[in-house]
Structure 1
């Protein structure tokens, strides 16, 4: 569904140039539900904006389904955003129109695309647990209810891909669990591919896969291999493997926490035992054994 290879995004002004993504590689399968984690400034929201058609990549390759987002025209980009992708922001002010009811908010993108379907709009609100709140305006809904309206809106035009930027960042734990359960149900029943950007590691148990972004690159990938996913979307058995991504020159980026644990600064020793590559802190001269009288 998604393929990014060597993806680069550079923001330029008259006096400064910021590299938000520097050769990012990632692949997401059709129907997968995954999370992207990373600290502020790591590039995860930039990636989401590019996938959502809200920003243009500077270089590299990025494809979503049949669309090449590096070469897409402005007219094609409009069709892509209307038909292929749905987007949910953390800030509900960007998701919702305050003077409309919940139902009217869901119907609006349908009317703009020329495919109005009230029955489907009602069904979406029922799926997110708001069947009895369809005629309420935003000031009559809690923050969690507003976020669930936003989920319904994002699916109004039946997208193949759903992107969510910190969808649980401004709600309590109970509401967060409810929202993630809704995502899992939509993923399972509609087959929609879901990519969630978050800094919350606790979401790892609620998705199929977690990818970490550091400094604009997919430096580490946590793959959860659990074929025994139960009907509630909870993993019966979780096994996490951690990978370091190599670039085409054979360079790899080792997580900073590992280097600090080994007290590696700017140099490391490396050896190959026939099966594995072993990286260690370099031996110092005073580390060698000495004879004592």
Structure 2
């Protein structure tokens, strides 16, 4: 569904250039539900905006559902955003029109696409647990209910890919669990590919695969170890780490580049250089010896 190779994004402001993505590689299978995590400034939101057609990549390759987003024309981009990708924002104001009912909000993208399917709009609101609230205006809905309307809006044009940017960032733990349950249900029943950007490790623990981004590159992947994802989320709430519920892997790209976790480098006292040896089974990375140590 998604294939990024050597993806680069450079933002320019006057004489200053900021490289947000520095050759990122990422593959996401059709029907997969996965999360992207990273610190502020790591490049995760930039990646999401590129996948959503909101930003253009500077270089590299990025293909989504058969669309080449590096070469796509402006008129094709409109069609891509209407038919291929749906978006759920953390800020409800970017998803919802306050003077419309929940049902009318879900129907709005259909209207822009030229065909309103009221039965499907109602079905979506039932899926997100708002069967009895679909005719309410937004001020009559709680924050969690508004976010569930936003999910229904993101699905209204039957996209192949749903992108969610911190979808539970402004709701409580119970509502967060409910929203993740909705994502898992639509992923299973519709087969839609879902990519969630989050800094919440509890949320990340509830998907099969997590990709960590650091300094504009994919650094680590975590694959599900615990089949009970709800229990995995609770384990993290009780003080566990993502490694306790997922198996961690370092990502190696096609030319052999990898990012060694900073805590490993600090523990081994490795700075700008390192020595590397292959003993026939393992690759061993160590801090280089000083000239004095070599003489001895």
- Asked if these proteins are the same fold (TM beyond 0.5), I'd say yes
Unaligned runs of 5+ residues in structure 2 are: 233-243
Q: For structure 1, which runs of at least 5 residues remain unmatched after alignment?
A: none
> What pairs with 1:96-111 in structure 2 (closer than 5 Å)?
96-111=96-111
Report the counterpart of residue 171 of structure 1 in structure 2. 171
Aligned counterpart in structure 1 of residue 264 of structure 2, from 247, 254, 258: 258
What residue in structure 2 maps to residue 243 of structure 1? Answer: 250
Distance in 2 (alpha carbons) for counterparts of 1:197 and 1:251? 24
TM-score if structure 1 supplies the norm length?
0.91
CA deviation map 1:58-105 (0-9, x unaligned) = 100000111111111111111111101000110001010011111110
What SS does the corresponding residue of 1:18 show, helix, strand or coil?
strand
Work out whether residues 205 and 234 of structure 1, in 8 Å CA contact, stay in contact via their aligned partners in 2. no
Post-superposition offset of 1:114: 1.0
Secondary structure at the counterpart of residue 205 of structure 2: helix
In the alignment, what sits opposite 1:269? Answer: 275
Q: Find the aligned partners of 2:225 and 2:116 in 1 and give their Cα distance.
A: 40
Q: How many Å separate the matches in 2 of 1:68 and 1:154?
A: 22
Match of residue 141 from structure 1: 141
Q: Which residue of 2 aligns with 1:65?
A: 65
Shift of 1:256: 1.2
Counterpart in the other structure of 2:194: 194
Q: Per-residue displacement from partner, 1:176-222 (whole Å, max 9, x unpaired)? A: 11000000000000000000000111123311100000011111112
Alignment: residue pair count? 285
**1:263 Cα shift?**
2.2
Partner Cα separation in structure 1 for residue 171 and residue 293 of structure 2: 52
State whether residues 205 and 246 of structure 2, in contact with CA within 8 Å, keep that contact through their aligned partners in structure 1.
Answer: no
Aligned to 1:128: 128
TM-score where L is the length of structure 2: 0.90
Give secondary structure in 1 for the equivalent of 2:97: coil
Determine the structure 1 residue equivalent to 2:21.
Answer: 21
SS of the residue corresponding to residue 133 of structure 1 reads coil
What is the CA–CA distance in structure 2 between the aligned matches of 1:239 and 1:213, rounded to whole Å?
16
Aligned-residue offset at 1:13: 1.8
